[in-house]
Chains A and B, each alone.
Chain A
Amino acid sequence: MAEIADLSLARVTKRFGAHVAVDAVDFSAARGAFFSILGPSGCGKTTLMRMIAGFEMPSEGDIAIRGASMAGVPANRRPVNMVFQNLALFPTMTVGENVAYGLDCRGVARGEREARVRRILGRVGLADFIDRRVTQLSGGQRQRVAIARCLVLEPTILLLDEPLGALDLKLREHMKIELKRLQADFNTTFVYITHDQSEALVMSDQVAVMNRGRFEQVGSPRELYRDPASAFVAGFVGDANRWPAEFEAPNRVRLSGGATVAGRRFGPPSAGPATCFVRPESVALAPSAEALSALENRYSGKVVSVLFDGANSTLLVRADAGGFELRATLPQTGALAGVEKGAAVHFGWSAEAARIFAA
């Protein structure tokens, strides 16, 4: 498709003195996409977002929005609006005034302004709150005001800087669904920054995993989960058991405790140190060894502890031989549902499920 991307970055670099915060980042986000940038704190994602918003200027490279270069365009003239981490609602204004602010700055006539403010507040379900002070709202309502305040301006891109960080768990889960719904409703390109992989995976069409100023991998949540391109992505996206190991064969490693694991190698064949990842949910558990005969990797061990968490319950198991421990998802149905600490179990995983990266 020849359509121009809503947002495209070409070798964008930002240096603060000798420190390279963002290192030659390239990417483009298609129109109407929900694009997330996922990374640990300090990886440069906030700097990247501030460059897109126009609060920082790149040291090198170019940012283009719908094909127009943003070099030298100040923040208040970019078709980009941002939902701040702390939301940054104006405490001296009412909900309606907060939403009207941007329109007012653009000189939109009073009648049209009020109609647009009412329409957008209706769409985010806050029509009755127009005259409230923002300090009188709940966390979720404030969130929606912050988003409405941006969307009323019909930006090409909406930036969201970890906006769910301050909310409690229940509300966060709810807001994830709500954000996704809003994005689909408005069909605006969302660029979402987070260190929470679950937020990124649940909501996004595309996720970029960022580490030390670089994009490690850009892909759909499913690709990142199934085919991580680097050891960092394999460890950061989703949950994983991670062991230091040594290559024995191109597709087999020996863990430091002595156990061997057949797996899938990413990257060119290599010798020497490696890292092996196995997701807790790919570990099969069984009371007897026969049930696991189809799997390439089979072990037996003892349950060290049961970490009960409903559907997310896991077992901590220590292998009888090979000197390693792992976490395995415990299904709440089946033979092992009631397993107790100290019980003997058999466990294993397919070679497909074990990912090996040269370290």
Chain B
Amino acid sequence: MNIIRIPILKLKDFLLVSIQVELDDNTVMRFQEDLVQRISETGASGVVIDLTSVDMIDSFIAKVLGDVVQMTKLMGAYVVLTGIQPAVSITLIDLGITFTGVRTALDLEQGLLLLEEMTGE
């Protein structure tokens, strides 16, 4: 089975991730590993994960995303999820998933501003 690698871009001290593929289980698991690896390699102080193109988050993907956020925090980096679609936010609440303690912003631009604020850069 083909595992799609989600690109992780470096911009100054931050890592930018824009998820633009259909998220299957293997792809999100691979992304989890890739991201912590990239944080370690680059010493990034913050990560933005943009979900603008994601039209569905089920409980498994939500769990993995929540884990990614916690792992990033454990590594000492700040993380912001951006671009969660209105329909996705509604279904997440239907599922009882609130992403407590996860910082979010409306879009990538606001996410970067928030990260700059959080990291003091």
Q: Do A and B bind each other?
A: no
